[in-house]
Amino acid sequence: MQSTHALPGAHAFVQRYAPANSKSTQKINPKSKYLPSSVSFGARVDAYLEEFVDQGWLDLGYACDPQFEHLLRQGDKAATAAHSIRDALIKHGFVATESQLPAPAFGLCPVLDLVGYNIVGDRVIVEIKCGRSSMDSSTSTGQMAAPFASVANNGHARAMMQLAVQRTCFAHAQGTHPHAWLLTHAYIAQDQGPHNRRVCIKPLPAGLAELVETHLLLSDR
């Protein structure tokens, strides 16, 4: 049996269908008001969110973690981003119960950033994206390959496509289709005030979810 660590994730799946110049998307829109993000920054945010899940998602006290409280006071961007993300999700009625959950299916193994429940008790998965690339829903650098030619080739659409892959794999592994949300977080350039960030939560479009699921199911026959 192939180890799940050797299986490609949702990002690798999307890249199969993206044109070769997709990685230049961020450079094409240098006037974006949002700051870019690094892989290491995203990893730190993921680690903080994982700690939030482990200690109790709704436990908003930081007295038990003076180091994190210190980072918040100092304005550490990764710590502040993780705090903002959790706050936005709680206000959205989401309670996380698992983080960094692998969902192997269809020869893939996407890792789900957060898994939990909404305010009425339905299962929800959340994909977290930091930086300006996933905020971008206008810049296009060529067309996605079939059967995804109808999907815009920009950071936001590719993030949604990754989420659709995650949802399909989770449903196959767990036997239930969850709600799927994309949360994007980005700092605003040239703004050092308390509201210098934007957090958006959007549901996965039904048409894209169906398109990806149909393709994966047909490919698995």
Q: For 1-58, write each residue's pLDDT tens digit.
A: 445 567 899 999 999 998 876 554 444 455 566 676 788 999 999 999 999 999 889 9
pLDDT averaged per 10 residues in sequence order, the chain, 221 residues? 71 91 49 73 93 88 74 90 94 97 95 97 96 75 88 91 98 95 87 72 97 93 67
Whole-angstrom distance, CA of residue 85 vs CA of residue 47: 13
According to the model, what pLDDT value does residue 66 have? 81
According to the model, what pLDDT value does residue 25 have? 43
Read off the tokens for 25.
Answer: 């998307």
Cβ–Cβ < 8 Å for 123, 166: no
Cβ–Cβ < 8 Å for 95, 86: no
Residue 43 identity (one-letter amino acid): A
Label residue 221 exposed, middle or buried (CB < 10 Å: 0-12, 13-18, 19+).
Answer: exposed
Kindly list the structural domains of the chain, giving each domain's residue range(s) and its CATH number in brackets, ordered by start: 7-17+31-219 (3.90.320)
H helices within 6-153, ranges in order? 10-17, 25-28, 39-55, 66-74, 77-91
Q: How many CA atoms lie within 13 A of 53 on its CB side?
A: 21
DSSP string, 173-213: HHSSPPEEEEEEEEEBTT--STT-EEEEEEEPPHHHHHHHH
According to the model, what pLDDT value does residue 75 have? 87
Task: Rounding to the nearest 10 degrees, give the CA dihedral for residues 35, 124, 94, 53.
Answer: -80
According to the model, what pLDDT value does residue 1 have? 42
Q: Could you give the angle at which helices 77-91 and 39-55 cross, rounded to 10 degrees?
A: 50
pTM comes to 0.89
